[in-house]
């Protein structure tokens, strides 16, 4: 039933268009509209192509004209210059984002005192703690742990500054365990925001 109705609608619209087309006035109006549309599109494309042709000719004459240095050579030299400028802009953007780290950013927390030593570190790209070092709290000289245990079963790490002679408390255990404890303390300070108080 619905297909029959659609068929009748199509036939009705076709007969209506044929009637309008056969009408002498409407046929002239439709023909004028079609001719005007074609002329407008032709002019649009014609003038569009003229603009494109003029631009191509301008570039062509610019390339072939000469100054002290041939312009085609200048054109080739512009490419690495643009690439270099792009790289510089990217580096400047990264530098500005690094220097604009707010005072509240955890990346400002890069040193603290634990076990009588000043510990310094940095953050890797993924935000984990890296480059953990112990420094003398008096002279900032790097202190390297030495095993001072009399027994080889359990190590005992001693921290003595070779520069000023400062001695920190000894640590019972391996250096890896000490580093892990320091990392856990740093992470706790970051979690609880205690680093902002110091």
Average pLDDT score over the chain: 78
Residues 12 and 81 in one domain: no
Higher-pLDDT residue of 127 and 140 is 140
Strands across the sheet with 117-123, in order? 111-114, 117-123, 129-135
Task: Place 1 in a pLDDT band, splitting at 50, 70 and 90.
Answer: very low
Distance, in Å, from the CA atom of 135 to the CA atom of 143, rounded to the nearest integer, reads 5
- Residue 59 included in any domain: no
Residues 43 and 74 in one domain: no
Residues 12 and 90 in one domain: no
Percentage of the chain modeled with pLDDT above 70: 85
Domain count for the chain, please give it.
3
Distance, in Å, from the CA atom of 14 to the CA atom of 17, rounded to the nearest integer, reads 5
Distance, in Å, from the CA atom of 121 to the CA atom of 111, rounded to the nearest integer, reads 6
Distance, in Å, from the CA atom of 116 to the CA atom of 82, rounded to the nearest integer, reads 53
Residues 112 and 163 in one domain: yes
In 67-153, the DSSP E strands lie at 111-114, 117-123, 129-135, 146-147
- Residue 64 included in any domain: no
Instruction: Identify which of 132, 136, 125 has the alpha carbon closest to the alpha carbon of residue 168.
Output: 136
pTM: 0.46
Domain that holds residue 178: 106-196
Residues 129 and 191 in one domain: yes
Residues 120 and 163 in one domain: yes
Residues 111 and 152 in one domain: yes
Q: What per-residue confidence (pLDDT) applies to 14?
A: 67
């Amino acid at each position: 039933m619905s297909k029959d109705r659609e068929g009748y609608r199509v036939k009705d619209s076709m007969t209506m268009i044929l009637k309008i087309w056969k009408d002498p006035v409407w046929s002239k109006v439709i023909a004028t509209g079609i001719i005007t549309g074609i002329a407008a599109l032709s002019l649009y494309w014609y003038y569009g192509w003229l603009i494109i042709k003029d631009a191509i000719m301008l570039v062509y004459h610019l390339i072939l004209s000469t100054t002290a240095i041939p312009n085609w050579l200048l054109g080739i030299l512009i490419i690495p210059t643009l690439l270099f400028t792009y790289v510089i802009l990217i580096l400047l953007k990264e530098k500005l984002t690094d220097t604009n780290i707010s005072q509240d950013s955890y990346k400002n927390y890069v040193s603290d005192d634990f076990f009588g030593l000043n510990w310094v570190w940095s953050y890797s790209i993924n935000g984990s703690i890296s480059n953990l070092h112990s420094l003398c709290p008096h002279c900032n000289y790097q202190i390297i742990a030495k095993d001072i245990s009399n027994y080889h079963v359990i190590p005992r790490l001693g921290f003595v500054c070779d520069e000023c002679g400062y001695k920190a408390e000894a640590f019972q255990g391996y250096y890896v365990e000490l580093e892990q404890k320091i990392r856990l303390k740093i992470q706790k300070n970051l979690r609880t925001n205690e680093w902002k108080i110091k």
